[in-house]
Structure 1
Amino acid sequence: MKALEGVKILDFTHVQSGPTCTQLLAWFGADVIKVEQPGVGDATRKQLVDVPGADSLYFTMLNHNKRSIELNAKNETGKAVLTRLIEECDVLVENFAPGALDRMGFSWDRIQEINPRIIMASVKGFGPGKYEDCKVYENVAQCAGGAASTTGFLDGPPLVTGAQIGDSGTGLHLALGIVTALFQREKSGRGQKVLAPMQDGVINLCRVKLRDQQRLATGPLKEYSQFGEGIPFGDATPRAGNDSGGGQPGRILKCKGWETDPNAYTYFIIQAAVWEKVCDVIDEPEWKTAPGFAKPADRLDKLNQIFSRIEEWTMTKTKFEVMDTCNPLDIPVGPILSTKEIMEDEGLRATGTIVDVDHPERGRYVSVGCPIKLSDSPVEVVRSPLLGEHTVEILQQVLGYEGDELEKVISSGAVGEARKVAAE
Structure 2
Amino acid sequence: MTRLPLDGVLVADFGRILAAPYLTMLLADLGADVVKVEQPGTGDDTRAWGPPHAQGEATYFLSVNRNKRSLALDLRDPADHARAVELVRRADVLVENFRPGTMDRHRLGPAAAQALNPRLVYCSITGFGSGKGADLPGYDLLVQAVGGLMSVTGPAPGQPVKTGVALVDVLTGLHAAVGVLAALRERDTTGRGQLVEVNLLSALLSGLVNQSAGYTLAGAVPGILGNRHPSIAPYEVFPAADRPLVVAVGNDRQFAALCRGLDAPELASDPRFTTNGDRVAHVEALAAALTDRLRLRTAAEWFTVLTPLGVPCGPVNDLAGAFDLADSLGLNPRATLP
> What does residue 223 of structure 2 align with?
238
CA separation of 1:196 and 1:155: change in aligned 2, threshold 3 A: same
CA distance in 2, matches of 1:207, 1:51: 35
1:68 match: secondary structure: strand
- May I ask how many residue pairs the two structures share in their alignment? 336
1:24 match: secondary structure: helix
CA separation of 1:288 and 1:2: change in aligned 2, threshold 3 A: same
1:279 match: secondary structure: helix
**Does residue 30 in structure 1 map to residue 15 in structure 2?**
no
> What does residue 47 of structure 2 align with?
45
1:354 match: secondary structure: helix
Asked whether the equivalents of residues 5 and 29 of structure 1 are also in contact (C-alpha less than 8 Å), the reply is yes
> What does residue 250 of structure 1 align with?
235
1:194 match: secondary structure: strand
CA distance in 2, matches of 1:179, 1:100: 25
**Does residue 211 in structure 1 map to residue 213 in structure 2?**
yes
> What does residue 16 of structure 1 align with?
18
Asked whether the equivalents of residues 270 and 331 of structure 1 are also in contact (C-alpha less than 8 Å), the reply is no
| Matching residue's letter, 1:121 | C
- Per-residue CA distance 1:211-257 (angstroms, 9 max, x = gap): 2224655xxxxxxxxxxxxxxxxx62222222225534412101222
CA distance in 1, matches of 2:93, 2:279: 55
CA distance in 1, matches of 2:128, 2:278: 44
Larger Cα Rg: Structure 1 or Structure 2? Answer: 1
Shift of 1:292: 3.6
| Matching residue's letter, 2:308 | P
Structure 1 segments, 4+ long, off by >6 Å, are: none
Asked whether the equivalents of residues 93 and 122 of structure 1 are also in contact (C-alpha less than 8 Å), the reply is yes
Shift of 1:164: 2.2
1:127 match: secondary structure: coil
CA separation of 1:245 and 1:292: change in aligned 2, threshold 3 A: closer
Among residues 159, 162, 165, which one is paired with 1:160 in the alignment?
A: 162
CA separation of 1:119 and 1:268: change in aligned 2, threshold 3 A: closer
- Per-residue CA distance 1:389-418 (angstroms, 9 max, x = gap): xxxxxxxxxxxxxxxxxxxxxxxxxxxxxx
CA distance in 2, matches of 1:52, 1:177: 33
CA separation of 1:175 and 1:105: change in aligned 2, threshold 3 A: same
**Does residue 304 in structure 1 map to residue 284 in structure 2?**
yes
> What does residue 421 of structure 1 align with?
none
CA separation of 1:270 and 1:58: change in aligned 2, threshold 3 A: closer
Asked whether the equivalents of residues 23 and 65 of structure 1 are also in contact (C-alpha less than 8 Å), the reply is yes
Shift of 1:314: 2.3
- Per-residue CA distance 1:340-372 (angstroms, 9 max, x = gap): 2123335378433334xxxxxxxxxxxxx2xxx
Tell me, which stretches of 5 or more residues in structure 1 are unaligned? Answer: 218-234, 259-263, 356-368, 370-380, 384-424
Tell me, which stretches of 5 or more residues in structure 2 are unaligned? Answer: none
> What does residue 226 of structure 1 align with?
none
2:24 match: secondary structure: helix
| Matching residue's letter, 1:282 | L
| Matching residue's letter, 1:247 | I
CA distance in 1, matches of 2:139, 2:277: 42
CA separation of 1:249 and 1:214: change in aligned 2, threshold 3 A: farther
- Choose 35-44 or 146-155, whichever is displaced more: 146-155
CA distance in 2, matches of 1:298, 1:52: 51
CA distance in 2, matches of 1:92, 1:169: 19
CA distance in 1, matches of 2:270, 2:233: 20
Among residues 173, 177, 180, which one is paired with 2:179 in the alignment?
A: 177
Shift of 1:296: 4.1
> What does residue 103 of structure 2 align with?
101
- Per-residue CA distance 1:377-400 (angstroms, 9 max, x = gap): xxxx6x5xxxxxxxxxxxxxxxxx
CA distance in 1, matches of 2:159, 2:265: 39
* Percent of pairs with identical residues: 30
1:345 match: secondary structure: helix
Shift of 1:330: 1.4
> What does residue 195 of structure 2 align with?
193
CA distance in 2, matches of 1:34, 1:349: 35
CA distance in 1, matches of 2:171, 2:147: 12
CA distance in 2, matches of 1:292, 1:349: 38
Larger fraction in helix: 2
